[in-house]
Amino acid sequence: MATGRIRVSGKTSLSRLSIEETVEALGIEVDVLRRRIREGSMPHERDRHGRVYVLVGAYSNLPHADHSRRRKPQDEAIIRDLEAQAVNLRQAPRTLEVPEEAL
């Protein structure tokens, strides 16, 4: 069976997804996933036949995961505030003001 759950260190439950399942679940291109695996930024393992499986944890961004976190109303307010701050920073002048005493 390609997918399943495994225990790591007796605490964390991970989903074991094939490359195809991971690409679909995360909504990324297969080349991007393979690059992340090669760079070591995507946890994975190989079976005895050389097939690669991606290990996806409990706090992954898989939309269908039964353990995905739900946003709370206060989280939405914080996100809106941070987005507004980001817009303001992008529109701010890109000059650095140096105090005269520092010159």
What is the DSSP code string of 17-68?
Answer: EEHHHHHHHHT--HHHHHHHHHHT-S-EEE-TT--EEEEE-TT---TT-TTP
Helix axis angle for 19-26 and 30-39, nearest 10°, is 110
CA distances from 59 to 62, 64, 76, 84 (A): 8, 12, 18, 26
Tell me which residues of the chain have a pLDDT lower than 50.
1-2, 5-6, 9, 59, 61, 64-69
Taking alpha carbons only, the member of 3, 15, 7 closest to residue 62 is 15
32, 33, 35, 40 alpha-carbon torsion, rounded to 10° = 140
pLDDT attached to residue 4: 54
pLDDT attached to residue 70: 57
Place of tokens 């946003």: 71
Q: What is the pLDDT of residues 53-63, one digit of tens each?
A: 998 875 454 55
pLDDT attached to residue 53: 94
